[in-house]
């Protein structure tokens, strides 16, 4: 049995821009509030998540990219076969003039109970997802010199 937490948000940036930020692991530390990544965004690649504030003394957490669909889905698998896997997924969909980001986490129930319990786990994961979405939105928000759209300036002198 697993606990699944799903969080949706809308980001005022193109799916391509969001995808670039999610798959540019060398710059995760520039925007992600909880971790940085070491590795490459390739299917089946091993990636290390380095936590900014380690919990229970664990700072480095290895994972495998178990899902990578260009511009649409990035999925990490944590854990080992004999005690169960946890998953963290980012799904992107076009939304109005931006991107709908869905973050999904899936954690074995025994691990949730061991760490803090289902209610506390869900609240903590939702809070973390909200923080990640807000940080990504801030990173991709157009600044004063960045155009909001790709309008052509042809015909102007």
**34 located within any domain:** yes
- The pTM assigned to this predicted structure is 0.83
- List helix spans (H) across the chain: 15-23, 28-31, 109-115, 118-140
**63 located within any domain:** yes
Q: How far is Cα 36 from Cα 53, in angstroms, rounded to an integer?
A: 11
**152 located within any domain:** no
Backbone angles phi, psi at 21, to 5 degrees: -65, -40
**154 located within any domain:** no
Query: What's the total number of domains in the chain?
Result: 1
**Per-residue pLDDT at 114:** 79
**148 located within any domain:** no
Q: Look up the CATH number of the domain holding residue 110.
A: 3.30.530.20
**147 located within any domain:** no
**Per-residue pLDDT at 56:** 55
Tokens representing 105 are 């986490």
Q: How far is Cα 144 from Cα 6, in angstroms, rounded to an integer?
A: 33
**pLDDT profile of the chain (157 residues), mean per 10:** 92 96 95 92 96 70 95 94 88 94 92 82 91 94 57 38
For residue 15, the enclosing domain spans 2-140
């Amino acid at each position: 049995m697993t606990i699944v937490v799903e969080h949706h948000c809308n980001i005022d940036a193109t799916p391509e821009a969001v995808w670039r930020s999610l798959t540019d692991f060398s710059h995760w530390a520039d925007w992600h509030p909880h971790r940085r990544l070491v590795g490459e965004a390739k299917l089946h690649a091993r990636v290390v998540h380095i936590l900014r504030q380690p919990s229970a003394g664990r700072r480095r957490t290895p994972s495998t990219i178990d899902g990578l669909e260009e511009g649409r889905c990035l999925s990490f698998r944590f854990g080992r076969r004999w005690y169960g896997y946890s998953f963290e997924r980012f799904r992107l969909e076009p939304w109005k003039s931006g991107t709908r980001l869905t973050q999904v986490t899936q954690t074995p129930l025994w691990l949730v109970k061991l760490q803090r319990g289902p209610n506390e786990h869900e609240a903590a994961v939702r809070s973390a997802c909200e923080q990640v979405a807000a940080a990504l939105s801030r990173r991709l928000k157009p600044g004063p010199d960045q155009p909001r759209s790709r309008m052509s300036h042809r015909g102007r002198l």
